[in-house]
Amino acid sequence: MINIKEDKQLNILNHSCAHLLAQAVKHLYPEAKFWVGPVIEEGFYYDIDLGDKTLTNEDLVKIEKEMKRCAKADKRIYREEISKTEALKRFKDDPYKIDLISRMDDENTVISCYTQGDFTDLCRGPHVDTTKKMKYFKLIKFSGAYFKADSKNKMLQRIYGVCFETEEDLNNYLNELEERKQRDHRKIGKEQELFMNHELVGAGMPIWLPNGALIRKELENYIYEKERKLGYEHVYSPCVGTVDLYKTSGHWDHYKENMFPSMKVDEEEFVLRPMNCPHHMLVYKNKLHSYRDLPIRIGEFATDFRYEASGAVKGLERVRCMCQNDAHLFVTAEQIGEEFKKVVSLILDVYKDFGIKEYKFRLSLRDKEDKEKYFDDDEMWNKAEDKLREVLNELKVDYFEAIGEAAFYGPKLDVEVKPAVGPEVTLSTCQLDFLLPRKFDLSYVDKNGEKKVPVVLHRAIFGTFDRFTAFLIEETKGAFPTWLAPVQVNVIPVNNNYHLEYANEIFNLLKEKNIRVQLDDRDEKLSYKIREAQTKKIPITLILGDKEKQENLISYRRHGSDKTYCVEKNMFIELLLNEIRDKRSKEN
């Protein structure tokens, strides 16, 4: 999707269109007061105080119509530069503009404003030179937005819109927006009964319904097997810990605002854990270690709780109760490169298996000048950062560097993906940590019999099962590959009177092989049933009639195609089992 903010021409056009919106609103609601109207990646918005009024969809239509009228009026848009005193005078009736102007430096500052017909707004510009240049625009939506994003302040009305240079561009954009809405995982999640929310459970606390739970179980099995093969050992640990545990790890001092408040039980103070690292440090510490034991890889599918703002929680993508596909790898300083390489290779391997192609690797490094922000061991940092770069280059991974974005305790690699709706999020992560092993006083005995501190790699390949599933739903548009689909095969007898017995036989045969199969024996037309299986996105639909029954054949169709294949019964089962066993995605 085009980034309007970054495109010079579109930026000017959209900025101008925000003024057009304000002008139209002023005509329709003379009492309206205006805060700011910036250009964003997806177009523009304007925050407006409409008194007690909350907008409706009908209002949006009205405003858009008025915008069209103002645009057609072909008013010249001209710039004026005025002094701060003059600006304070001109905008004296608008407290929001006064707020902006008052914060501008001093009396000598030159302030610019733009006028079109009867409307003037404070603005740095630039703008298009006449209202007529804005032809192809659309108001997209509205929402409430607190003044200065502070919930203690008044709620303003935020109107979003977008403007293009041609009708075709606008239509393409609107189509894409619609397509994105259609594959929003919250929508598909509801349609396919994958997960639900209930206010009595709480915001950001989804319940995985049977269909979603099946997908999650398959994902767990998949990654568990991969990790076992790579030498990971999995544990189970409680999703609470004492406050002292999190004081030891440092989370209590640095991460408290992301945690649920503590609770007292008997004499102990507990927290719901936001991370599993402290527990895994204790697993390591439970035994003495020699350099020969390292790397040690402790994995867990671990439930965590984090305080996320109620406005930020979103379906399965951003939750308050999540399950990480977590592991902590304990390595010697010399093993950092090799172990990091294995993690990145695993990420690439998994993305390939799922046919994920659109993602960005971000390598977060320290800002060398900022001595305060980062754990102080220059030599360690230099070596580690060089090593990470070296590995990424060796694996020919395309990445960008984010200087100053490293955590206090070490550099990290994140994989960013773009959801259907909303800003980018991190899926996988791999974070180096020099500090935590020290805090827990971890050690191993090296070749020379000396005590050394291991380095820890925190890594999550799926990130959380929650966020990964959200992403997967949007990637596949709900049409999961056979191995993941909640219902894998749908069996339809052509005619219930003649073919039900054979359909039942096949149904039982597949069930015995642990295939998730359903028999559609409703008294409905064949074409209706086939169509419904398609809308339900069931990967394979069997259509069994006379020929199939007489010759022990199976005719089947795949989701998204109306081509019918016909094979011998046992051959079909073998093909199907292979497809599931290989966890084939549509891409491979």
Question: How many CA atoms, within 13 angstroms, populate the side-chain half-sphere of residue 474?
Answer: 21
Contacts 24+ apart (CB under 8 A), 500-504: 501/549, 502/544, 502/548, 502/549, 503/542, 503/544
Nearer to Zn ion, 458 or 499 (CB): 458
C-alpha triplet 483, 489, 491: angle, nearest 5°: 175
Provide, rounded to whole angstroms, the least separation between the CB of residue 417 and Zn ion.
21
**Residue nearer to Zn ion on the CB measure, 251 or 557:** 251
Asked if 127 is an active-site residue, the reply is no
Region 244-283 residues binding Zn ion, contact defined as CB under 5 A:
277
Environment class of 98 (CB within 10 Å of its CB; exposed 0-12, middle 13-18, buried 19+): middle
Instruction: Determine whether 49 is an active site residue.
Output: no
Strands 455-464 and 321-331, by their bridges, are antiparallel
Q: Which of 157, 324, 518, 534 is catalytic?
A: 324
Q: Does 467 bind ligand TSB (CB under 6 A)?
A: yes
- Identify which of residues 101 and 319 has a Cβ nearer to ligand TSB in the complex: 319
Binding site partner of 490, from ligand TSB, Zn ion, none, Cβ cut-off 5-8 A by kind? none
Q: Does 306 bind Zn ion (CB under 5 A)?
A: no
Binding segment (CB under 6 A) for ligand TSB, from list 86-94, 321-329, 370-378, 388-396 = 321-329
| Residue pair 389/396 in contact by the 8 Å Cβ criterion | no
CB 123 within 8 A of CB 112: yes
* CA atoms of 374 and 472, how far apart (whole Å): 35
Given Zn ion, ligand TSB, none, residue 426, with its beta carbon under 5 to 8 Å by kind, binds ligand TSB
> For residues 298 and 283, is the Cβ–Cβ distance under 8 A?
yes
387 is a contact residue toward ligand TSB (CB under 6 A) = no
Take residue 541 and report the two structure tokens written for it: 């639909």
Comparison of 424 and 501: residue with beta carbon closer to ligand TSB? 424
**Selected binder of ligand TSB within 32, 420, 460, 484 (CB under 6 A):** 460
Nearer to Zn ion, 158 or 458 (CB): 458
How many residues belong to the site for ligand TSB (CB under 6 A)? 20
| Residue window 85-124: x/- pattern of binding to ligand TSB, with contact defined by CB under 6 A | ----------------------------------------
Residue of 300, 339, 353, 466 interacting with ligand TSB (CB under 6 A)? 466
CB closest to ligand TSB, residue no: 463
How near is the Cβ of 250 to Zn ion at its closest, in Å? Answer: 12
Contact status: 458 vs Zn ion (CB under 5 A): yes
Evaluate whether 285 touches 291 at the Cβ level (below 8 Å): no
Residues facing residue 46 across a β-bridge: 159
Q: Toward Zn ion, which CB reaches closer, 326 or 353?
A: 326
- Do β-strands 517-519 and 233-234 pair in parallel, antiparallel, or remain unpaired? unpaired
Contact 159, 148 (CB under 8 A): no
Q: Note whether 273 binds ligand TSB by CB under 6 A.
A: no
- Residue 524 CB, shortest distance to Zn ion, in Å, is 52
**Does the footprint of ligand TSB cover residue 248 (CB under 6 A)?**
no
- Signed CA dihedral, 314, 316, 322, 325: sign only: negative
326 makes contact with ligand TSB (CB under 6 A): yes
In the range 287-306, which residues lie near ligand TSB by CB under 6 A? 306
**CA torsion, points 209, 215, 218, 222, in degrees to nearest 10?**
-130
The verdict on 324 binding ligand TSB (CB under 6 A) reads yes
Is residue 328 flagged as an active site residue?
yes
State the SS3 of 95-122.
HHHHHHHHCCCCCCCEEEEEEECCEEEE
Nearer to ligand TSB, 328 or 549 (CB): 328
Residue among 19, 306, 362, 529 flagged as catalytic: 306
Token pair for 146: 């607190």
219 lies in the site for ligand TSB, by CB under 6 A: no
Closest CA to 337 of 371, 388, 399, 293: 388
Reported in sequence order, the residue ranges of 332-436 that DSSP labels E, i.e. its strands, are: 360-365, 399-403, 412-417, 425-433
| Catalytic entry in 158, 362, 458, 529 | 458
Given the rule CB under 6 A, which of 163-171, 286-294, 332-340, 457-465 is the region that contacts ligand TSB? 457-465
Per-residue x/- mask for ligand TSB, residues 421 to 440, rule CB under 6 A?
Answer: -----xx-x-----------
Could you please report the per-residue DSSP string of 320-360?
Answer: SEEEEEEEEEEE-GGGHHHHHHHHHHHHHHHHHHTT----E
Q: How far apart are CA 510 and CA 541, in angstroms?
A: 13
Residue 29 vs residues 134, 159, 582: alpha-carbon distances, Å: 22, 14, 62
Residue 127 or 273 with smaller CB distance to ligand TSB = 273
Say if residues 24 and 70 touch (Cβ distance below 8 Å).
yes
Active site residue 458: yes
Tell me the two tokens of residue 165. Answer: 């240079």
Cβ distance to ligand TSB smaller for residue 407 or 492? 407
Q: What are phi and psi of 291, to 5 degrees?
A: -55, -25
Which one, 279 or 559, has the nearer CB to ligand TSB?
279
Does residue 306 carry a catalytic annotation?
Answer: yes
> What residue 319 binds from Zn ion, ligand TSB, none (CB within 5 to 8 A, per partner kind)?
ligand TSB
Contact letters for ligand TSB, residues 22-41 (x by CB under 6 A) = --------------------
**Partner from Zn ion, ligand TSB, none contacting 464, C-beta within 5 to 8 A by type:** ligand TSB
Determine the interface stretch with ligand TSB among 165-173, 315-323, 538-546, 567-575 (rule: CB under 6 A): 315-323
Partner from ligand TSB, Zn ion, none contacting 322, C-beta within 5 to 8 A by type: ligand TSB
Stated length of the chain: 588
As given in the structure block, the two tokens for residue 377 are 């061991």
Q: Which is nearer to Zn ion, 157 or 429 (CB)?
A: 429
Instruction: Report how far residue 195's alpha carbon sits from residue 216's, in angstroms, rounded to the nearest whole number.
Output: 11
Interacting positions 45-74 with ligand TSB (CB under 6 A): none
In whole angstroms, the minimum distance from the beta carbon of 275 to ligand TSB comes to 4
Binding site residues, Zn ion, CB under 5 A = 277, 458
> Residue numbers of the site for ligand TSB (CB under 6 A)?
275, 277, 306, 308, 318-319, 322, 324, 326, 328, 426-427, 429, 458-460, 463-464, 466-467
Q: Give catalytic residue positions.
A: 277, 306, 324, 326, 328, 412, 458
